[in-house]
Amino acid sequence: MSVLTEGRRLSATGDRGRGTRILRRGAVALAGAGIIVWSSVASAATGGYADLVEKVAPSVVTVFTTQLQPAGEAGASPFGPGSPFEDFARRFGVPVPQQGPQQRPGPAHGLGSGFVIDPTGYVVTNNHVVEGATEVKIKLGDQQEYTATVVGTDRETDLALLKVDAGKDLPAAVFGNSESLRVGDPVIAVGNPFGLGGTVTSGIVSARGRAIDDGPYVDFIQTDAAINRGNSGGPLFNMDGQVVGVNSAILSPNGGSVGVGFAIPSDTVRTVIAQLRENGRVERGWLGVSVQPVTPEIADAIGLADNRGALVAQVMPDGPAEGRLQSGDVIRSVDGKPVESMRELPKLIAASRIGEPARIGIVRDGKSMDVAVDIGRREQKTASAADHLRPERTAALGRLGITVAPVTDEVRSSLGLEESVEGAVVTSLKPDGAAAKAGLVAGDVIEKIDGRAVKAPSDLEAAVRDAPAPSVLVLINRHGSTLFVGIRLADA
């Protein structure tokens, strides 16, 4: 479960608990006791959803998993070893609760939902439902259980493909076209919330193209159909009985459904599952650049008429784009397909053919041009960075609203920077200052302003003093990754 803002939580909807059923206010529920229908929009005028449910429910399954639970150490922090929360608490004197006596290792059980996509026994679910499982089983609507093998998983889209050998053809769902969905279209979700068994909820498509900080490759469908723990991996159906999404997450202040659920679009699911079925993994194209949005301030600073596209912040050494693209290029298209915003670029590159040239449309120094780049294969990488900083001295920069310090060896070490990094490191920000409003944070290293190199705080002060325009384009290094930020300077 990951924290968003203002107490809201984005919760994956799989249930990794012990299967305990908590009933409140006299409510009674029996797992596997048929189909329970919670309907928010069905009415006599529409005839309800009974015929549709009867058609699609047999293809929906319950997914049971077993994971090995590691032993806990006596007196260990509940945050886990190496957790940044444990480090934060230690350094700032926050009391850390200790666990009790050492716990013995034992199995932990989880549950989720899924659906059959092929009569031969292929089943789709969420990656987070089966991740780390030592055993996976599915239960069909007729209560028959089968052991499943994991064909492949993709953490980037939170999808997994399972295979069971039932010795017979299984009822399979059919994919629909999620691109044709419109906001307001009615949908139903079928799954296994709270381990209740086959449960149906109804609602509408509340929004499309939602970004929920869950990776760059999915634009989620938002729905108000009730989705709860255990619904993960279950299908979202349209009124034709076609799967248009895979239920994956909810936005909730309390862990339960509040009518803001998210599903992976079927067009994405179909592409990923096809690769998992053929190769057991997903291969994606890689351009070898880090990009960021073109904000109005950045567009103004570099002379663009609009803020369409993705700004190249850094070109990776030895990457596909090295020698072809440059820091500061604005990518506007890939093989003729427009890049209106930064979010569109990763999906277009990921879908490009690996090892073949792609035509990248860019704006460089105010001129439009096409650059051919041979697309590479993306590899999984893990980034890490220090979360503390102890600079030796500071220098005030009123128009930016920051204090900075030299980049010393200690600073490089604490921030995980290469030895060659130079600049001025931000040590504090005025909350309502220009830099804070633009998104700078303590620990950012300012390397350039308007293309002018910054090797020390004095260079930064001079560059700000000599800035010819009210907005400046700042290149910062944030824990090893560079990005541009447009800052509108405060009045002197």
The residues that are catalytic are 128, 158, 232
How far CA 436 is from CA of 301, 444, 485, in Å, comes to 18, 11, 11
**Token pair recorded at residue 357:** 């040239």
**Beta-carbon neighbour count of residue 71 at 10 Å?**
10
d(CA 14, CA 111): 6
d(CA 443, CA 322): 27
d(CA 148, CA 447): 53
**Beta-carbon neighbour count of residue 62 at 10 Å?**
26
Q: Where is 106: in which H helix or E strand?
A: strand 106-118
Which residues sit opposite 313 in a β-bridge? none
Q: Half-sphere exposure of residue 187, counting CA atoms within 13 Å on the CB side?
A: 34
**Token pair recorded at residue 460:** 């930064």
Q: Which amino acid is at 351?
A: A
d(CA 395, CA 406): 9
d(CA 1, CA 290): 27
Q: Which amino acid is at 406?
A: P
Query: Cβ(204)–Cβ(162) under 8 Å?
Result: no
